[in-house]
Amino acid sequence: GLEHWLPEIREHFLDQLKNDGYAGIHTAYRPKTWPGTEDFRRINTAQLDLDFGESLDYFDAISRLADLTAKELLPPFSLIVNTGNGAHVFWLLKGDEEDPELPPRSFSRNRRRAIQVNGALVQLVKDHYPELEPDPGFAHITTHTRVEGSVNTRTGLDVAYTVNYTPLDQPPRYTLWGLADWFGLPTVRDTYRRTRTTSEKTTPKRRSGWVARFENPLQDFQIVRAYMEAN
């Protein structure tokens, strides 16, 4: 944690986050300012960006989301970020193949499924409350959100998080596939390459290639050995 950092480094780091501080939503393999798709280890959330700005009061916007949830059109959110110019809404994920309580790993099929789910969230809000102005670009896993407690210098407003606690004192958590079923999304095709069988690996065509690969070096070795034996 930050408490273990050198005081000078910690203060410098925190100072950088005071104004327009951003953080990646998903877990990255290595530190980068703007990681690419292949740089992520886990997908932590499904997400929605509402760019209503000054055209709509923040609490009026949240009441519209609550209405969609009450009608069971939208699953209950896990947390909302008041970005100072709109809102970021998150649905926390779980469902790793080895540890179901961890977020899913960023395999290609999970990335594609996450983008589909995020797109469905955008379309649902657009169909019912277009004045919330959902941003389709926020559907990708390379997006960032603002750091809690920082200041949006465009509006001068603080960034604040609201967590939706369940009776178990935990925010709701979902699996990607559960959210996909909620929106009736089609099954994502798995693009993993099929492992070749032994018979496919040793076809006559491939075997002839191996023979050609070592044929000339073998001939050279035989010539050298014959020369050495003769002398």
Q: What is the pLDDT of residues 40-56, one digit of tens each?
A: 999 999 999 999 998 99
With a CB cutoff of 8 Å and minimum separation 6, the contacts of 141 are 25, 26, 37, 40, 43, 106, 111, 114, 115
Q: Is the pLDDT of residue 12 over 80?
A: no
pLDDT class of 196 with cuts at 50, 70, 90? very low
Strand partners of residue 162 = 80
Cβ density class 13-28: b for 16+ within 10 Å, e for less: eeeebeeebeebbbbb
Q: Is the pLDDT of residue 111 over 60?
A: yes
Give yes or no for a contact between 113 and 188, defined as CB atoms under 8 angstroms apart.
yes
**Dist. CA 11–CA 2, nearest whole Å:** 10
Alpha-carbon separation of residue 168 from 78, 163, 165, 171, 172 (angstroms): 13, 13, 7, 8, 9
Query: Residue 215 is inside which H or E element, if any?
Result: helix 204-230
Residue 81 in tokens: 């970020």
Q: Is the pLDDT of residue 29 over 50?
A: yes
Q: What is the pLDDT of residues 200-229, one digit of tens each?
A: 444 454 555 545 544 555 555 555 555 555
| DSSP string covering 106-118 | --HHHHHHHHHHH
Could you give the angle at which helices 58-70 and 108-128 cross, rounded to 10 degrees? 100
Q: Which residue has the higher pLDDT, 120 or 24?
A: 120
Q: How confident is the model over 77-88, as a mean pLDDT?
A: 95
Give yes or no for a contact between 52 and 131, defined as CB atoms under 8 angstroms apart.
yes
